[in-house]
Amino acid sequence: MSESLNKESTNVLIIGKSGVGKSSLLNYMFGREIQQVGVGAPVTKMEIKEFTYKYDEHFEMHIYDTWGLEPSAQRAEEWKSTIFKEIERHDSKKISDWFNTIIFCLNAKSARVEDFELDIMEELLREKNHVTIALTHCNSKSDSDGIVLRDSVKEELEKRGIDSLDDRNFVFVSNVRKVLLGGTVEQFGKEEIFISIIRNVWASLKSKVPYQARKHFESLFALKKEELLKKPDRLRWMAPLMRKNQIKALELEINRNCSSFVNELVAEINAMYNDAVVYYTELSKKYAMIGFQMDSDDYVTSAEIHFDATQTIREQVTADLELLKERMQFLDDILKDNRVESRIRDTIVNIRIFMKDSKKVRQDLKSELERYMDEVYRYLDAHLKKIEENLDLLEIDDLYVFQTN
């Protein structure tokens, strides 16, 4: 246990159809038989097995192997559902628990990639997962069938709006030693698989971490906005003489509610980035003399924004007074005293609140509340963008070279 605590780690998920060579690839990576190799027969037991590979004294990989996909459409849907549930379960935890690499196995000798496989690849990539496509059963690192399949996958994904994958995302693999008429093909590709996994660990800081933070922010913010916009409906039976007090009480409640939510949301986002900073800082210390650097000033944020329930009416009154001042010189002279202007404005605001139909009051409150929530969103969105810009400037793209060397 103490040895494990001193290590950094990452999680890797291996997926692919039955008979594609996942088990033999796993055995090749580990250098011993940890999974029984079949002959392409479907594996009916739906389970995900975890294996731990100690890469070196500082780093280990937790590799999760899925059962092979069967041709049945029903089984394909079950397979896909289980995979994405497992990814979501891991992504809800700390950075080191994420799947930083998905190894998608394809048989290089296959004529084509099936649509459901492309569907899964597309969804994985849109969620900013790092996908390494292992082209199994290759006869060389420039296998002609592998090249055709690689180019086909890139082309099909581009048709779906996915940016062209780097050739480094494809690894040509000979997962078993083969004796052919032209000679013996030794195993190869393991080193490239490990390098790809480590590269993806570092790349996640600039892609998957900000994506997950923004996804979390968007989801929670939408729920909170919907919840707050329902609150003015509670004022449906407002008595005119009680409106001002009821509106004031609503204003206080919304401010307390939203302030608490914003603080919790900000704390969660800051915690996610802090977790990433700690993880990558420790990784950098172990593999690079000069490496990852990111200060809390680069990501910590807070929010101090206040909801004013009568702001819409007050602005209408202010505009009316400005118009009157232009038209009536004597009023302009009276309103040169700011205290007098403020008292007149407050009086008119109160009269309008009193005289308005309760439905119109609720509409005004919702309008102002929506504007307030949009302001909160813009504030937090701007800060998230700033964090993303700071991350984009970090020179980490080749830090994996230190680790693999």
pTM: 0.78
**Number of Cβ within a 10 Å radius of residue 329:** 8
Higher pLDDT, 284 or 119: 119
Q: At 326, which helix (H) or strand (E)? A: helix 311-327
Lowest mean pLDDT among 45-49, 56-60, 133-137, 283-287: 45-49
How is residue 296 annotated by DSSP? G
pLDDT of residue 38: 53
Ramachandran sector of residue 244 (left: φ over 0; alpha: ψ -120 to 50; beta: rest): alpha
58 neighbors 287 (Cβ within 8 angstroms): yes
Average pLDDT, stretch 80-89? 90
**Number of Cβ within a 10 Å radius of residue 280:** 24
300 neighbors 263 (Cβ within 8 angstroms): no
245 neighbors 280 (Cβ within 8 angstroms): no
- Dist. CA 162–CA 260, nearest whole Å: 38
All structural domains of the chain with their residue ranges: 2-204, 210-404
Q: Burial, 16: exposed, middle or buried (Cβ in 10 Å; 0-12, 13-18, 19+)?
A: buried
- Dist. CA 286–CA 190, nearest whole Å: 23
pLDDT of residue 325: 47
Q: Which has the closest alpha carbon to 159: 196, 121, 131?
A: 121
- Dist. CA 10–CA 3, nearest whole Å: 16
Tell me how far the alpha carbon of residue 72 is from its chain's centroid.
Answer: 31
The yes or no reply on domain 2-204 and CATH 2.60.40.1930 is no
pLDDT level of residue 98 (50, 70, 90 thresholds): very high
Q: How many residues does the chain have?
A: 405
- Dist. CA 103–CA 399, nearest whole Å: 21
pLDDT of residue 130: 95
Average pLDDT, stretch 304-315? 54
- Dist. CA 348–CA 270, nearest whole Å: 44
For the chain, the straight-line distance linking the first and the last C-alpha, in angstroms and rounded, comes to 26
- Dist. CA 65–CA 53, nearest whole Å: 13
How far from 189 is each of 144, 198, 321, 359, CA to CA, in Å? 16, 15, 77, 69
Lowest mean pLDDT among 144-153, 168-177, 219-228, 281-290: 281-290
pLDDT of residue 43: 45
pLDDT at residue 219 tops 90 = yes
Mean pLDDT of the chain: 79
pLDDT at residue 178 tops 60 = yes
pLDDT in tens, 234-258: 776 655 556 677 777 877 888 888 8
How is residue 233 annotated by DSSP? G
pLDDT of residue 339: 65
- Dist. CA 203–CA 277, nearest whole Å: 13
- Give the 3-state secondary structure percentages of the chain, helix then strand then coil, rounded to 5: 60, 15, 30
Between strands 178-180 and 183-185, the pairing is antiparallel
pLDDT in tens, 126-135: 999 999 999 9
pLDDT of residue 75: 74
Residue type, 261: F
pLDDT of residue 39: 43
33 neighbors 26 (Cβ within 8 angstroms): no
What is the CA angle 331-334-340, rounded to 5? 120
Lowest mean pLDDT among 56-70, 143-157, 197-211, 362-376: 362-376
pLDDT level of residue 44 (50, 70, 90 thresholds): very low
pLDDT in tens, 144-173: 999 999 999 999 999 999 988 999 999 999
Task: Give exposure, 223-260, as e/b (b: 16+ Cβ within 10 Å).
Answer: ebbeebeebbeebeebeeeebbebbeebbeebbeebbe
